[in-house]
């Protein structure tokens, strides 16, 4: 017989035992927050001035953000007061609450090139940059560029369709909003650790299913010598940490491979319960990112999603966000199952991203 909820043992990140309830700042519920003031940090005029000065310094130095982005380092991007704040927010996301929003990036008065340089420079205070896709974009573009959402090779960020709850292929993910849609495009996130706890309380049998093997489709972004799918648990217990990796559309898509086992009734039930909890009023925070706002999330303890949206006809005026994937120093150890989605490395500070044959790392100023 499964233990009653009150009999379940409680542990914390760093000393987690499998199938125990986790406590700590990353295990949150909506009721724990009074409102956006609890997670939004407003940049001051001094912060913005430092940011703009650093951008102009990069331009004066002739450094090429498009072809040689890694030539721009922290040494080229001094932020005397903003830098320590960015690092503190990174630590809060990595080790604490798991998410943050920064408000006040001056997208309204910077050119696209200046904006991209500024976002890149901010990311330098969070860790190593990682390729967002097979094209090698070190800054991704979240925009509807007309890709068919029904195609198994389409990444949904390039469409106007809703994105289900998921994690990205990096320790940290950050989004900078440039333009909003005419309607829709609501961002939401939930604590995957809280989802874990609720499943353990309600259906401990499904918690064990989620800790088993799950087949994950690569959507055609296949590294050399690899198959079009890989295996990774949803609940990963490793060296005292619980890290959650969940993207149900990728599990369903992997069924297109004949050699992949069919999803079992228990797995389908686990997916349904996981999604029900993640989108529940008790666990889901909603935040419509406004132009100039930056979202930063841990992919190990947080889930994120986006609602469908309706855009204007003018391509240049469509909803548009920039995305960074970063590998910060001092992050948690990860099991070898993460070698597959994390570019063949689980080395802290040097893992994550998508690299395939022919990938050339670069930065594009436009969605492509």
- Candidates 115, 106, 108; CA nearest to 139 is 115
Q: Do 294 and 122 contact (CB within 8 A), yes or no?
A: yes
Asked if residue 365 has pLDDT above 60, the reply is yes
Residue 350 located in a structural domain: no
Residue 29 located in a structural domain: no
Report how many domains make up the chain.
1
Asked if residue 2 has pLDDT above 80, the reply is no
Residue 50 located in a structural domain: yes
pTM of the entire structure? 0.96
Residue 176 located in a structural domain: yes
The count of C-alpha atoms lying within 13 angstroms of the C-alpha of 317, restricted to the half-sphere facing its C-beta, is 7
DSSP 72-123: --GGGS--TTHHHHHHHHHHHHHHSSSEEEEE---TTTS-HHHHHHHHHHHH
Residues 6+ apart with CB under 8 A from 110: 52, 55, 118
Longest dimension (CA), the chain: 69
pLDDT of residue 7: 78
Residue 198 located in a structural domain: yes
Q: Tell me the pLDDT of the chain averaged across its residues.
A: 96
The boundaries of the domain holding residue 120 are 43-339
pLDDT of residue 302: 98
Asked if residue 81 has pLDDT above 80, the reply is yes
* Confidence band for 152, pLDDT divided at 50, 70 and 90: confident
pLDDT of residue 5: 46
Residue 33 located in a structural domain: no
Residue 169 located in a structural domain: yes
User: Three-class SS of residue 178?
Assistant: strand
Residue 89 located in a structural domain: yes
Domain harbouring 191, CATH code: 3.60.130.10
């Amino acid at each position: 017989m499964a233990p009653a909820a009150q009999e379940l043992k409680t542990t914390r990140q760093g000393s987690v035992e499998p199938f125990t309830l986790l406590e700590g700042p990353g295990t949150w519920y909506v009721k724990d927050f009074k409102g956006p003031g609890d997670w939004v940090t407003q940049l001051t005029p001094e912060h913005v001035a430092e940011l703009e000065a650093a951008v102009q310094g990069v331009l004066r130095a002739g450094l090429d953000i498009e072809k040689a982005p890694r030539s721009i380092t922290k040494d080229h991007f001094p932020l005397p007061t903003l830098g320590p704040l960015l690092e503190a927010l990174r630590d809060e996301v990595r080790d604490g609450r798991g998410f943050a929003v920064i408000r006040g990036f001056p997208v309204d008065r910077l050119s696209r090139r200046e904006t991209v340089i500024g976002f890149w420079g901010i990311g330098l205070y969070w860790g190593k940059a990682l390729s967002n896709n097979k094209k090698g974009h070190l800054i991704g573009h979240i925009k509807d560029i007309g890709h068919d959402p029904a195609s198994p090779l389409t990444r949904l960020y390039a469409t106007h369709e809703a994105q289900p709850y998921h994690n990205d292929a990096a320790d940290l993910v950050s989004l900078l909003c440039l333009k909003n849609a005419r309607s829709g495009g609501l961002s939401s996130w939930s604590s995957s650790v809280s989802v874990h706890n609720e499943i353990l309380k309600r259906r401990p049998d499904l918690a064990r299913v989620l800790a088993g093997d799950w087949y994950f489709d690569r959507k055609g972004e296949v590294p050399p010598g690899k198959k079009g799918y890989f295996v990774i648990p949803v609940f990963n217990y490793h060296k005292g940490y619980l890290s959650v990796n969940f993207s149900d559309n990728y599990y369903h898509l992997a069924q297109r491979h004949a050699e992949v086992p069919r999803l079992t009734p228990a797995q389908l039930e686990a997916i349904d319960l996981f999604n029900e909890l993640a989108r529940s009023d008790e666990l889901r925070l909603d935040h419509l990112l406004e132009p100039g706002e930056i979202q930063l999330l841990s992919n190990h303890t947080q889930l994120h999603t986006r609602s469908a949206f309706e855009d204007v006809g003018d391509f240049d005026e469509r909803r548009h966000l920039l995305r960074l994937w970063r590998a910060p120093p001092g992050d948690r150890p990860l099991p070898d199952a993460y070698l597959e989605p994390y570019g063949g490395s689980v080395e802290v500070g040097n893992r994550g991203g998508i690299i395939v044959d022919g990938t050339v790392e670069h930065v594009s100023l436009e969605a492509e």
